[in-house]
A and B are shown apart, each in its own frame.
Chain A
């Protein structure tokens, strides 16, 4: 999440809203956001319905995998980063800055 925070100005300039999602409670997520200095919303998928719907629930951990989705204004998925690849969001930040994404 910190890596997205560091790139937030670039992403916002490219008309992009960042939303974190986990299966923690909204209150745990707020405390987490404050602790690490994240200013974008960390959404609570309490119960995991959305995590299941996105196909990234891990039964072993009873939690989501680390996955970043870039979703365009038309609602379609433009980029994905999965597991370790999702730690560095450069691919998504770069994709947002392509000229067509700013339209």
Chain B
């Protein structure tokens, strides 16, 4: 068991994703806003729980690349 655990840790280290969250982790909930042209609208990740998959696409800055 110890060996298995160690192997598992080493494999994870090798395949380590350079972000803090790994596949299978629960995505942290949040509440953020966007401007729809008229009003600021709230969006929470939990709004979609049990209803839709969500793609969260983080990008560096507006007006840089696509």
Interface residues of A (CB under 8 A from B): 1-4, 11, 14-24, 26-32, 35-36, 41-45, 49-51, 53-56, 61, 63-80, 82-83, 86, 89, 92, 96, 101
- Residue of B20, B29, B53, B58 contacting most chain A CB atoms (<10 Å): B58
Complex alpha-carbon distance, A80 and B32, angstroms: 21
Least CB distance, B21 to chain A, in whole angstroms? 6
Q: Is B55 an interface residue (CB 8 A)?
A: yes
Number of interface residues of B (CB under 8 A): 42
Residues of A with C-beta under 8 A to B48? 17, 71, 73
Q: Is the CB of B58 within 8 A of A75?
A: no
CB neighbours of B17 from chain A (8 A): 80, 82
Q: B residues near A, CB below 8 A?
A: 17-30, 32-37, 40-41, 43, 45-46, 48-63, 66
Pairs A-B, 7 closest by C-beta atoms: A55-B20, A32-B62, A2-B66, A26-B35, A43-B32, A41-B34, A16-B53
Q: Closest approach, in angstroms, between the C-beta of B18 and any C-beta of chain A?
A: 6
> Once the chains bind, are A75 and B27 in contact (CB under 8 Å)?
yes
Give the distance in Å from the alpha carbon of A4 to the alpha carbon of B65 in the complex. 13
Are the C-beta atoms of A77 and B30 separated by less than 8 Å?
no
B27's nearest neighbour on chain A, judged by CB, is A71
Known: A2-B66, A3-B66, A77-B21. A64 touches B55 (CB 8 A): no
Residues in chain B near residue A76, CB distance under 8 A? 24-27
